[in-house]
Structure 1
Amino acid sequence: MSTMTSPIPDSHPHADQPRTAQPLDADAFAGYGDAIRRAMNGVLDGKPEAVDTALTVLLAEGHLLIEDVPGVGKTVLARALARCIAGSVSRIQFTPDLLPADITGVSVYRQQQGVFEFTPGPVFAHIVIGDEINRASPKTQSALLECMEEGQVTVDGRTHRLEAPFLVVATQNPVEMEGTYPLPEAQRDRFMARISIGYPDAESEQRMLRDREHGSPLDRLDPIVDVAGLRRMIATVREVYVSPSVEAYAVAIVQATRDDTALRLGASPRSTLQLVRAARARAALDGRDFVVPDDVDALATTVLAHRMILVPRAQHPDGRPVRGVEEVVQRIVAATPVPVPQAPRA
């Protein structure tokens, strides 16, 4: 793929770490990507869009928030993605009595040696599954802020680096469900994308009954790519070219959210960076070494909507009531002039 990169700087948890992984050729990248998709689609029936978004976030070095009612496969999707990677995986069950130290780790005093020794928590893994994250208190949820943004954990004044790649896949129930706490704005903003899985159609649900008659398909899922291979896939995504016109298009969409009268809180500059990074990953998975406006359009709602807050009794410019933030994002995308795609520079 093209070695030309966008002038927009990367901002991810491991941006300061040496980029030693070599990009894969197009065929190898496509082979890994297709194999992961097939494996995950075999576990989560009838939800290819959710699978594609999860893989896009992984390759774009982001974090994924899965929000939906209980029992639709949120944790199954997270576990299926983790099973496809031959790296370290940990799972945290968020509960009201969970403490920050239960996530990050704690310094334990070793009496014989007379020193404090840091015992890493479950966040020290390549893929961290946070199940029902909004059942923990905001104080405990905030334990993830530093590691998700900076790729490190600070305990007792000492900083401990997390190994790349690092991905948090968190599930949450809708805020209206009993025993939940809303995620703070800073926490939501650190998730690259939010998806809802939704109920399966009748055919997929019937197929699920047959597939699970003799056990879970997760038990039959083998790793497809190791950590070194995943780093090379990520390096390939980093090489995808983003033209200045497409950059300007992404910036225009995000800035429009800050001026829209239906929104009390628009999208942050971090969301612009993450939108472009996700568009790179989508382009690579589609077999292209450059981003087109359609990549930005396809990801705008997934990447931006969960970061924004509507004003009370929000209305569209024509007076229609706004039924959700997603409607505002879709309207902004439709109203933003689309640039003429530019191929990579020679």
Structure 2
Amino acid sequence: MSELKTKEEELISLQDKLKSVESEVRKQIIGQQKVLDELLTSMLAGGHALIEGVPGLAKTLLINSIAQAMDLKFKRIQFTPDLMPSDIIGTEVLDEDQETGKKIFKFLPGPIFANIILADEINRTPPKTQAALLEAMQEKMITYAGKDHVFDRPFFILATQNPIEQAGTFPLPEAQLDRFLVKVNIDYPTELEEEQVLKMTTGTHADKISPVCTAEEFLTAQNNVKEVFIDDTLITEVNKLIRSTRPDKNNNSETSKYLRFGAGPRAGQALIMTAKARAFKSGRLAVTPEDLKAMTPAVLRHRLLLSYKAEAENVNIEELIEKSVKEIGW
């Protein structure tokens, strides 16, 4: 009985820590509640997030605020057309051993060696440099000159990108898009929220963010997320949803005919893990259909590619995802 009580107390404490993180971030960020929820849910599930929105919507401030509230090492990489892979992962330099006097190669870590990496405007850089992130995102380590360099945990890449239609952008390849657990869309604030932003950012007073959660506590929360229960019936429905997005002559789904490229198995894993994280964050230890429904757009919107038929009929990704969810019955 005492062990159960201790476990329950630990879970309540961890959930309170997450609420405190949100409260601290709110000192700097006005509105954007859904964006904050989806980012923290993605991090709890142990995945990376892609954030899309026009410049000037406080994407950088939001991510930096999360890092401060969680007392995590934060690095920002500004992606530009001339950025090289070595500018991200690091490089080797010729150094002299102080004891022997011999010349040796020494690895100098790049900015990717941190807990939270802000890959700012990731689609401003060519594919060669974007590809440098692939191993880091999937393996949480890099290999340079035959040696493995493992990152500290937790490790997240939170990347921002400008809308694809803007000039000077390089669309991310499907293989890299699939490495992002979720894609979060950030929009303009409401009129009232924007007025609050203007008041808060043009005066002399600014609330400082205090660290309220350690790396170890967040890693413990991540491990507890994996233990959240999901019924086999819901797993079957997740599988059905993901498979319904794939263009196939045997696929009777209404949505698949509007898609050139559907979601792979990693999408199903992402949906289950983010639903578990959402349930845990809400103080529950079992996934509900509402958790799955809430996380489906963020999990699928960057994994589906519209067909020419969809573009001709002005059908967008969000509408297709909504139809797919309704077909499942969530």
Deviation at 1:30, TM superposition (A): 2.0
The secondary structure found in structure 2 opposite 1:258 is coil
C-alpha spacing 1:323/1:149, structure 2 compared with 1 (3 Å): same
Tell me what 1:53 maps to.
Answer: 38
Tell me what 1:232 maps to.
Answer: 220
Q: For residue 100 of structure 1, what is the amino acid of its counterpart?
A: P
Tell me what 2:17 maps to.
Answer: 32
Tell me what 2:185 maps to.
Answer: 196
- Superimposed CA distance per residue, residues 178-197 of structure 1 (whole angstroms, 9 cap, x where no aligned partner): 22111111111111111121
Equivalent of 1:85 in 70, 87, 99:
70
Question: Which residues of 2 match residues 256-271 of structure 1 at below 5 A?
Answer: 256-259=244-247, 260-271=256-267
Deviation at 1:128, TM superposition (A): 0.5
Deviation at 1:324, TM superposition (A): 1.2
Confirm or deny that 1:331 pairs with 2:323: yes
2: CA distance between counterparts of 1:193 and 1:262?
21
Tell me what 1:297 maps to.
Answer: 293
Question: Which residues of 2 match residues 64-143 of structure 1 at below 5 A?
Answer: 64-111=49-96, 112-143=101-132
- Superimposed CA distance per residue, residues 212-239 of structure 1 (whole angstroms, 9 cap, x where no aligned partner): 123585x611212111111111122121
C-alpha spacing 1:24/1:85, structure 2 compared with 1 (3 Å): farther
Conserved? CA contact 2:27–2:209, under 8 Å: no
Confirm or deny that 1:243 pairs with 2:231: yes
Deviation at 1:249, TM superposition (A): 1.4
Deviation at 1:337, TM superposition (A): 4.0
Conserved? CA contact 2:64–2:74, under 8 Å: no
Equivalent of 1:162 in 125, 148, 151:
151
Give the count of matched residue pairs: 312
Q: For residue 87 of structure 1, what is the amino acid of its counterpart?
A: L
Deviation at 1:43, TM superposition (A): 2.0
Q: Which runs of 5 or more structure 1 residues have no equivalent in the other structure?
A: 1-21, 339-346
2: CA distance between counterparts of 1:286 and 1:150?
29
Tell me what 1:341 maps to.
Answer: none
C-alpha spacing 1:156/1:216, structure 2 compared with 1 (3 Å): farther
Q: For residue 177 of structure 1, what is the amino acid of its counterpart?
A: Q
The secondary structure found in structure 2 opposite 1:323 is coil
Conserved? CA contact 1:41–1:47, under 8 Å: no
1: CA distance between counterparts of 2:274 and 2:23?
20
Q: For residue 108 of structure 1, what is the amino acid of its counterpart?
A: V
1: CA distance between counterparts of 2:205 and 2:60?
13
Conserved? CA contact 2:52–2:184, under 8 Å: yes
2: CA distance between counterparts of 1:33 and 1:321?
43
> TM-score if structure 1 supplies the norm length?
0.86
Larger Rg: 2
Q: Which runs of 5 or more structure 2 residues have no equivalent in the other structure?
A: 1-6, 248-255
2: CA distance between counterparts of 1:62 and 1:237?
12
2: CA distance between counterparts of 1:215 and 1:182?
40
Conserved? CA contact 1:73–1:197, under 8 Å: no
Q: For residue 232 of structure 1, what is the amino acid of its counterpart?
A: T
Q: For residue 326 of structure 2, what is the amino acid of its counterpart?
A: A
The secondary structure found in structure 2 opposite 1:86 is coil
The secondary structure found in structure 1 opposite 2:308 is coil
1: CA distance between counterparts of 2:142 and 2:149?
5
C-alpha spacing 1:184/1:23, structure 2 compared with 1 (3 Å): farther
Conserved? CA contact 2:183–2:302, under 8 Å: yes
The secondary structure found in structure 1 opposite 2:27 is helix
Q: Which has the higher contact order (CA 8 A, sep 6+)?
A: 1
C-alpha spacing 1:227/1:323, structure 2 compared with 1 (3 Å): same
Moved over 6 A (4+): none
C-alpha spacing 1:24/1:310, structure 2 compared with 1 (3 Å): farther
The secondary structure found in structure 2 opposite 1:25 is helix
2: CA distance between counterparts of 1:85 and 1:215?
25
Q: Sequence identity of aligned pairs in percent?
A: 37
Conserved? CA contact 1:67–1:172, under 8 Å: yes
> What is the RMSD of the two structures over their aligned residues, measured on CA atoms?
1.8
2: CA distance between counterparts of 1:199 and 1:299?
21
Conserved? CA contact 1:264–1:310, under 8 Å: yes
Confirm or deny that 1:41 pairs with 2:26: yes
